[in-house]
């Protein structure tokens, strides 16, 4: 009954049933998703995927964020889902390491643009798609993830199908079949991490979920108990699971509110150290610094202990590089993880001043840091909860600034400002088309 | 090293390295696949999938067997893979219950038609695709299937990718990435059995495998150890596995030779009884029969014990109906499993004369049957190995007759004859295009 109850919950939830707080968080999530998607729009892997358009002589229906090309609904969902995960800079439901927007938002944008659907309905579809995927993730985490499934993809496909089903105005029967078709396409192995195939995953989940809905719309039949059946999703893909979590407190508790945004373009374990170094920079100029001591959770050195990174990507796995740029430039965005920055003489020299120490009792989102100057002076700072954690979320201003850094060079400053303004009152816009047009980079690059 | 060794084996196997016996079996497999695909071309689910063409404004590149429509490479692979599994009448690698042609042949046909590739290379790609998927299935069966994976789909995707990679002339690096991309799309739950989504599975495997290859062709990167990695395919999707089986005796032992063809359009457990009833019909007219006693393996009544079927599909799960039509009509093809046949008065009446008895010592492909006439006479027959088993394979004539029954009404008798003739010397044809044209039904239905 889990699947059926879930579908009934989804269909009973109208726009007006969604609290303002959730709608606001949805708009933030969508804006953050758009920013990371636009920012990565010219990664080489995107050209490869868009090359499929020619291979397949496919239709021109919807936009690719950050690019001038138009592609068909399915290729659009694949591409926009992929780009948003390329920088590893997208949103995170910290309880399950699930990045909810990646599989859901591309479907909302594709159908929204193609059918010019009321933005209120788009917000509803986004919220419901995210709720469904995050609740299923709650039910199968951690065994599903530990086994080796990339949960954003393998569970995200359900969210994509539900978002599409909401926008295609499904009845209970159609939504059940769509979930069956989605679940049987669930896939995505963690073995792919570190290759282009990792960001391919949320894109494929978006595409598969939309395909499921397009077929269910036509009357295609599937299992109506995909989550709980003996050989259904949970039994086959999660050695341990608790399906009660899928529907519990529906409408009272909103998983989307636990969706966090990354202020920095690297692993979350580094974020407290970045916050600390940004604070310390007010005490000294670089040439005055003797060393910066950071006392961190053991995970930090385990995951990001690279002493001499050679590429931007390696820089993301180096606390030495990350603390350095945070102090020198006051940020750790994509700009600070470019290959030339990692190799810059002043950056290389300053790296040797970073002295990390492990403390097993230090919480993961906490850090203690001390700066020692050449003149003997010392200043200390403690970060209790890193920026972007649930306890210390990014402000709207910080989110806007992150968006600007990602999109200014792709769609231009003017379009960037307009998009930010539009997103603040997204639900009252007459159409999503205008916003998408601002994001396609037509004005800047073509 | 399993994946790398497999790729090296594939790339080292040229057309001339494949024994004639294997090539002949490949041609039989392809012909059988074409027949079951054409026969099901007008199933309602096919119209639904082809409706995607309009939804997506997709290109016209390749043919759908049995239909006049042209669709793009990916939709063509999906459709032709699906149709071939709709009747549950396709080929079977009995060791693993894997239907090898379904995921592989659609890719061979799509690329073969689109790029007009030499039929010899098409045969090579088909053989290699099937070898790869069947060897991987050997390595993960039965734990993978028992867990709930539809092995034809979840493993078939590797075969599809390899067939595509062979035809796209991949080097080792590209083929490794294609296998990684294929494995991360592996999916298909047995929970879907009994719905339209079951035949959707081999189609999706074909489509996903082709997509993997199209991306790898462009330089898209993935894991190069998808089969054996800690969080790779075998570890995640098969609780027990023996990856040594993937490459053992490569070139000396051919799994494709173990591919069996079904003479009858129902579960394999019924095939011995059908053979027996067809033999018994020479002894009497229907009105002379008092009863037919069949002594069967216990699985037969467990799986096909439906006493009063009401639909054609239910007839496939009824030994009473199946034995009846076998005696009355001398066959158990799709024609004998139509709804109106199941409800026909003479069929309903005769069903009560079928008396099955279970014998736990009876082998699965064996049956003993006795006909008792109203005049007291009795005749007995024993089937040691049902037609279509490895020990008693279908003859070429029987395969041709199966093909005719499936295709005559769709593409016409004349085209049917021509296709059968063409398949006998497929490797010497100047192009596959002519054969495909004969199969598209243009001459008959448009």
- What residues of A are in contact with residue B73 (Cβ under 8 Å)? 55-56
- What residues of B are in contact with residue A226 (Cβ under 8 Å)? 189, 191
Strand duo B354-358 + B289-296: pairing: parallel
Q: Is there a contact between B56 and A59 if contact means CB atoms under 8 Å apart? A: yes
Whole-number Å distance between alpha carbons of B258 and B29: 11
- What residues of B are in contact with residue A203 (Cβ under 8 Å)? none
Q: Dihedral sign for Cα A191, A193, A195, A201, please.
A: positive
Q: In this predicted model, what pLDDT tens digit does every residue of A113-144 receive, in sequence order?
A: 999 999 999 999 999 999 999 999 999 999 99
Q: Where does residue A430 rank: exposed (0-12), middle (13-18), buried (19+ CB within 10 A)?
A: exposed
Residue pair A413/A441 in contact by the 8 Å Cβ criterion: no
**Contact A56/B at CB under 8 A:** yes
Count helices and strands in chain B by DSSP H and E runs:
23, 8
Whole-number Å distance between alpha carbons of A227 and A246: 10
Token pair 């600070």 is found at A336
Residue pair A423/A30 in contact by the 8 Å Cβ criterion: yes
Whole-number Å distance between alpha carbons of B36 and B34: 6
pTM equals 0.94
Peptide bond into A142 cis (omega under 30): yes
Q: What pLDDT is recorded for position B142?
A: 95
| Rg value, chain A, Cα | 22
Token pair 């199946």 is found at B322
**Contact A338/B at CB under 8 A:** no
Q: In this predicted model, what pLDDT tens digit does every residue of A77-99 receive, in sequence order?
A: 999 999 999 999 999 998 999 99
pLDDT band per the 50, 70, 90 thresholds, residue A442: low
Write A339-342 long-range contacts (CB < 8 A, 24+): A339/A311, A339/A312, A341/A312, A341/A315, A342/A309, A342/A310, A342/A311, A342/A312, A342/A314, A342/A315
Whole-number Å distance between alpha carbons of B246 and B134: 8
- Determine the residue among A216, A221, A226, A234 to mutate to test chain B binding: the one whose Cβ has the most chain B Cβ atoms within 10 Å: A221
Q: What pLDDT is recorded for position B390?
A: 86
- DSSP summary character for residue B305: B
Q: How far is B167 from chain A (nearest CA, A)?
A: 15
Average pLDDT, chain B: 96
Whole-number Å distance between alpha carbons of B195 and A173: 14
- DSSP summary character for residue A149: B
Residue pair A238/A144 in contact by the 8 Å Cβ criterion: yes
Q: According to CATH, what is the number of the domain A2-261+397-445? A: 1.10.4100.10
Instruction: List for chain B the helix, strand, coil content (%; round to 5).
Output: 60, 10, 30
Residue pair B364/B297 in contact by the 8 Å Cβ criterion: yes
C-alpha closest to that of B106 among B11, B36, B207, B192: B207
Confidence check on the interface: ipTM exceeds 0.90, yes or no: yes
Residue pair A103/A209 in contact by the 8 Å Cβ criterion: yes
B52, B148, B185: residue with CB nearest A231: B148
- DSSP summary character for residue B64: P
Whole-number Å distance between alpha carbons of A418 and A322: 32
CB crowding B352-388: b at 16 or more within 10 Å, else e: ebbebeeeeebebbbbbbbbbeeeeeeeebebebbbb
- Determine the residue among B231, B233, B241 to mutate to test chain A binding: the one whose Cβ has the most chain A Cβ atoms within 10 Å: B231
Q: How far is B267 from chain A (nearest CA, A)?
A: 20
Q: How far is B254 from chain A (nearest CA, A)?
A: 30
Q: Is there a contact between A236 and B188 if contact means CB atoms under 8 Å apart? A: no
- DSSP summary character for residue A64: P
pLDDT band per the 50, 70, 90 thresholds, residue A445: very low
- What residues of A are in contact with residue B231 (Cβ under 8 Å)? 148, 189-191
- What residues of A are in contact with residue B232 (Cβ under 8 Å)? 148, 189, 191
B44, B47, B197: residue with CB nearest A184: B197
Beta strands in A34-127 (DSSP E): 62-63, 70-71, 92-93
Q: In this predicted model, what pLDDT tens digit does every residue of B298-343 receive, in sequence order?
A: 989 988 999 999 999 899 999 999 999 999 999 999 999 999 999 9
Strand duo B259-260 + B289-296: pairing: unpaired
- Determine the residue among A76, A186, A191 to mutate to test chain B binding: the one whose Cβ has the most chain B Cβ atoms within 10 Å: A191
**Contact A151/B at CB under 8 A:** no
Q: Specify which residues A259 forms β-bridges with.
A: A93
B206 token code pair: 């074909």
Q: What pLDDT is recorded for position B442?
A: 57
- Write out the H or E segment, with its range, that includes residue B265: none
C-alpha closest to that of B264 among B386, B429, B89, B104: B89
Q: What pLDDT is recorded for position A390?
A: 86
Residue pair A354/A292 in contact by the 8 Å Cβ criterion: yes
**Contact A55/B at CB under 8 A:** yes
- What residues of B are in contact with residue A200 (Cβ under 8 Å)? 181, 184, 215, 220
- What residues of A are in contact with residue B190 (Cβ under 8 Å)? 231
A383 token code pair: 């970060």
- Write out the H or E segment, with its range, that includes residue B308: none
Whole-number Å distance between alpha carbons of A52 and A58: 8
Nearest CA in chain B to A110: B56
Q: Is there a contact between B191 and A49 if contact means CB atoms under 8 Å apart? A: no
Q: How far is A412 from chain B (nearest CA, A)?
A: 29
With a cut of 80, say whether residue A446 has pLDDT above it.
no
A45, A56, A231: residue with CB nearest B220: A45
Q: Where does residue B292 rank: exposed (0-12), middle (13-18), buried (19+ CB within 10 A)?
A: buried
- Determine the residue among A192, A206, A214 to mutate to test chain B binding: the one whose Cβ has the most chain B Cβ atoms within 10 Å: A192
Q: Specify which residues B317 forms β-bridges with.
A: none
Nearest CA in chain A to B212: A197
Q: Where does residue B201 rank: exposed (0-12), middle (13-18), buried (19+ CB within 10 A)?
A: buried
**Contact A199/B at CB under 8 A:** no
A107 backbone dihedrals φ, ψ, rounded to 5°:
-70, -40
Q: Is there a contact between A191 and B147 if contact means CB atoms under 8 Å apart? A: no
Q: Is there a contact between A220 and B190 if contact means CB atoms under 8 Å apart? A: no
Neighbours of A239 (CB within 10 A): 13
Nearest CA in chain B to A187: B185
B48, B49, B187: residue with CB nearest A185: B187
CATH architecture of the domain covering A268-383: 2-Layer Sandwich (3.30)
- DSSP summary character for residue A276: H
Segments of chain B with pLDDT less than 70: 441-446
Neighbours of A346 (CB within 10 A): 12
Within 219-278 of B, beta carbons closer than 8 Å to A belong to 219-223, 225-226, 229-233, 235-236
How far is C-alpha A433 from the chain's CA centre? 22
**Contact B76/A at CB under 8 A:** no
Neighbours of A321 (CB within 10 A): 30
C-alpha closest to that of A178 among A211, A206, A205: A211
Q: How far is A274 from chain B (nearest CA, A)?
A: 31
List, as one string, the DSSP characters of B73-86.
Answer: HHHHHHHHHHHHHH
Neighbours of B116 (CB within 10 A): 11
- Write out the H or E segment, with its range, that includes residue A293: strand A289-296
| Rg value, chain B, Cα | 22
- What residues of B are in contact with residue A189 (Cβ under 8 Å)? 183-184, 186, 223, 226, 231-233, 236
List, as one string, the DSSP characters of A308-330.
Answer: S--SHHHHTTBHHHHHHHHHHHS
Q: In this predicted model, what pLDDT tens digit does every residue of A161-181 receive, in sequence order?
A: 999 999 999 999 999 999 999
- What residues of B are in contact with residue A231 (Cβ under 8 Å)? 147-148, 189-191
Q: What pLDDT is recorded for position A364?
A: 86
Nearest CA in chain A to B47: A218
Write A383-386 long-range contacts (CB < 8 A, 24+): A383/A272, A383/A275, A383/A276, A383/A279, A386/A268, A386/A271, A386/A272, A386/A274, A386/A275
Residue pair B139/B243 in contact by the 8 Å Cβ criterion: yes
- What residues of A are in contact with residue B191 (Cβ under 8 Å)? 180, 183-184, 223, 225-226, 229-233, 236
In the A/B pair of chains, how many CB contacts fall below 8 A?
174
3-state SS record for B128-191: HHHHHHHHHHHHHCCHHHHHCECHHHHCHHHHHHHHHHHHCCCCHHHHHHHHHHHHCCCCCEHH
pLDDT band per the 50, 70, 90 thresholds, residue A303: confident
**Contact B103/A at CB under 8 A:** no
- What residues of A are in contact with residue B184 (Cβ under 8 Å)? 187-189, 191-192, 197, 200-201
- What residues of B are in contact with residue A197 (Cβ under 8 Å)? 180-181, 184, 220-223
Q: What pLDDT is recorded for position B446?
A: 37
* Coil vs helix vs strand at A190: helix
Token pair 């798609």 is found at A129
Span A301-328, mean pLDDT?
94
- Write out the H or E segment, with its range, that includes residue B383: strand B378-383
Whole-number Å distance between alpha carbons of A104 and A156: 7
A48, A72, A197: residue with CB nearest B184: A197
Instruction: Mention every residue, 6+ apart, whose C-beta is less than 8 A from residue B390.
Output: B94, B258, B260
- DSSP summary character for residue B15: G
Q: Is there a contact between B147 and A197 if contact means CB atoms under 8 Å apart? A: no
Q: How far is B424 from chain A (nearest CA, A)?
A: 32
Instruction: Mention every residue, 6+ apart, whose C-beta is less than 8 A from residue B407.
Output: B34, B35, B38, B39, B66, B415, B416, B419, B439
Domain range annotation of chain B = 2-261+397-445, 268-383
Q: Is there a contact between A58 and B61 if contact means CB atoms under 8 Å apart? A: no
A220 token code pair: 């295609």
């Amino acid at each position: 009954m889990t699947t059926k109850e879930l579908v009934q919950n989804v269909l009973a939830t109208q726009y007006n049933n969604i609290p303002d707080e959730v709608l606001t968080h949805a708009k933030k999530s969508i804006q953050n998703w758009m920013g990371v998607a636009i920012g990565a729009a010219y990664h080489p892997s995107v050209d490869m995927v868009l090359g499929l358009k020619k291979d397949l002589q496919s239709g021109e229906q919807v936009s690719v964020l950050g690019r001038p090309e138009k592609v068909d609904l399915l290729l659009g969902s694949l591409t926009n889902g992929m780009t948003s995960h390329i920088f590893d800079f997208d949103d995170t439901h910290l309880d399950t390491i699930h990045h909810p927007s990646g599989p859901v938002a591309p479907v909302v944008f594709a159908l929204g643009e193609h059918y010019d659907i009321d933005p209120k309905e788009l917000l509803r579809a986004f919220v419901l798609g995210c709720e469904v995927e995050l609740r299923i993730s709650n039910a199968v985490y951690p065994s599903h993830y530990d086994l080796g499934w990339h949960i954003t993809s393998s569970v995200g496909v359900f969210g994509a199908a539900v978002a599409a089903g909401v926008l295609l105005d499904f009845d209970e029967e159609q939504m059940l079949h769509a979930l069956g078709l989605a679940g049987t396409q669930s896939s995505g192995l963690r073995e792919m991490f570190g290759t282009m195939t990792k960001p391919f995953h949320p894109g494929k989940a978006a595409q598969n979920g939309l395909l499921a809905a397009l077929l269910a719309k036509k009357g295609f039949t599937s299992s109506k108990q995909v989550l709980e059946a003996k050989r259904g999703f949970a039994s086959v893909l999660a050695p341990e699971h608790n399906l009660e979590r899928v529907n519990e407190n529906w409408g009272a508790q909103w998983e989307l509110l636990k969706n966090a945004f990354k202020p920095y373009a690297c692993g979350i374990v580094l974020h407290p150290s970045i916050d600390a170094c940004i604070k310390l920079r007010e005490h000294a100029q670089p040439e005055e610094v003797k060393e910066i001591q950071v006392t961190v959770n053991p995970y930090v050195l385990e995951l990001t202990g690279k002493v001499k990174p050679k590429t931007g990507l390696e820089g993301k796995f180096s606390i030495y590089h990350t603390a350095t740029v945070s102090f020198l430039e006051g940020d750790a965005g994509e700009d600070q993880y470019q290959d030339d920055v990692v190799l810059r003489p002043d950056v290389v020299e300053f790296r040797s001043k970073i002295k990390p120490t492990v403390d097993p009792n230090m919480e993961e989102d906490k850090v203690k840091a001390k700066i020692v100057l050449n003149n003997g002076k010392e200043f200390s700072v403690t970060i209790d909860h890193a920026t972007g954690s649930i306890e210390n979320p990014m402000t709207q201003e910080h989110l806007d600034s992150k968006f600007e850094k990602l999109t200014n060079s792709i769609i231009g400053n003017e379009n960037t400002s307009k998009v930010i303004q539009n997103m603040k009152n997204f639900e009252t816009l007459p159409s999503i088309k205008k916003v998408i047009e601002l994001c396609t980079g037509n004005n800047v690059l073509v």
